[in-house]
Chain A
Amino acid sequence: MKYILLMNAPRSGFETYRAWPPEAVQAHFAALKSINQGLCESNEFVATSGLAWPEQAKVVRAGKDGEPVTDGVFPESKEFLAGYWIVDVESPERAGQIAARISAAPGPGGVVLNMPIEVRQVMSGPPEEFS
């Protein structure tokens, strides 16, 4: 079963993060890299990506002629995706365990962040009855 682990944060979370001392950022990335390595070794790793900062985010809709109408304004409450992992695991519980490891990545002063990680199953295709 494939699961996606989504690291979402409001804009304020990104601003806080940008103020971290470099050694905290390095330790954070080292922890994530070590998680990735573990997932590769257990053959559970499918993909991971980090996204550009929220101020570069755009929302696009089709206009009447199908041309893109682009906007860069989002509601204050909006959560932005910072990055994600896709893992291939035996059970939802295993996906939860991996999410908890990511959640416990260190922040400033080495204190565990306990950040919330959204866990969603990735489907192999549309439900059969609709295709």
Chain B
Amino acid sequence: MKYILMMNTMRAGESVPKWPTKDLQAHIAFMLNLNKSLRESGELVSAEGLAFPDQARLVRAGKDGAPITDGVFPESKEFLAGFWIVQVDTPERAYTIAARASAAPGPGGAPLNMPIEVRQVMSGPPPEML
């Protein structure tokens, strides 16, 4: 089963967190290490980090099909900072990996315990819809 683990932790307009450089480095080292262990266990499908929300755009098709681009988002909107896709045997294993990511260190090395959204990734549209 494939699951996507999403870090929806950023807010509109946010850029690089204002943490001391060594704390940012420790956070990134933790994430790279997590990726490495998931690669070694054969569970990592992909891991991606996204540009900060200050660069996010919302696009809609206009009447002629041309893109209409907007960069204004509601304050309540959550922004995806990054995600992992993992191939695991059970949903519980996906939750265990999510908890590891959740405990990534923040300022002063304290675990962030950030929320990680866990969703199953489908292999295709439900058959009844095709």
**Could you tell me which A residues sit within 8 Å of B by CB distance?**
4-6, 22, 25-26, 29, 47, 49-52, 56-63, 66-70, 75, 77-81, 86, 92, 96-97, 99-101, 103-104, 112, 114-123, 125-127, 129-131
Contacts and interface: CB of A to CB of B under 8 A. Distances in A.
A86 B48 contact: yes
Nearest to B28: A126
B interface majority secondary structure: mixed
22 contacts: A29-B125, A49-B2, A50-B122, A50-B125, A52-B119, A59-B118, A60-B98, A60-B118, A62-B111, A68-B92, A68-B95, A79-B77, A97-B67, A100-B59, A101-B61, A101-B65, A103-B59, A118-B56, A121-B50, A121-B55, A123-B50, A130-B25
A96 to B, nearest CB: 4
A119 B49 contact: no
Contacts of A79: 77-78
